[in-house]
Amino acid sequence: MHIVIIGCGRLGSNLAKGLSDEGNDICIIDRNGDKLNALGSGFNGQRIKGIEFDSDKLIEAGVKQADVLLAVTSDDNINITVSLIAEKIFHVPNIIAKVNDPQKNDIYNQLGIHTINPIQYEIEMLKNQIRKN
């Protein structure tokens, strides 16, 4: 599978390494070159330094052939923008965005963007642990 990952923070870098190790074709975009370099020599995917929602960078990343786009930056506005560009312009079949601010979850839902919400997930896990004790 060709997977484009937007954002090379903790989540993005671990996704890139893990999905690459599973044999997927990975390209990761981030504006911070140091984060891309931190992936190390063991990462055999493509790294692109640039503005995450720049259509030229997305095309360079192979978004036109992407099976999946994961927007996992720490900025909800970037995640929303990239998700909409990937869907409306490049017709990427599978798009998942990370929600950083739970108050913006409704915006993602209204736009029809599939999401993961790590904060909400952690809250539910902690509440479940409290109930068990």
Q: What is the pLDDT of residue 1?
A: 97
Per-domain boundaries in the chain: 2-132
Instruction: Look up residue 127 and give its amino acid.
Output: K
Q: What is the pLDDT of residue 45?
A: 96
Q: What fold, for 2-132?
A: Rossmann fold (3.40.50)
CA-closest candidate to residue 69, choices 7, 15, 20, 4:
4
Q: What is the pLDDT of residue 71?
A: 99
Q: Calculate the CA 117 to chain-centre distance.
A: 12
Q: What is the pLDDT of residue 121?
A: 85
3-class secondary-structure state, position 71: strand
Q: What is the pLDDT of residue 119?
A: 82
Q: What is the pLDDT of residue 78?
A: 98
Low-confidence ranges of the chain (pLDDT < 70): none
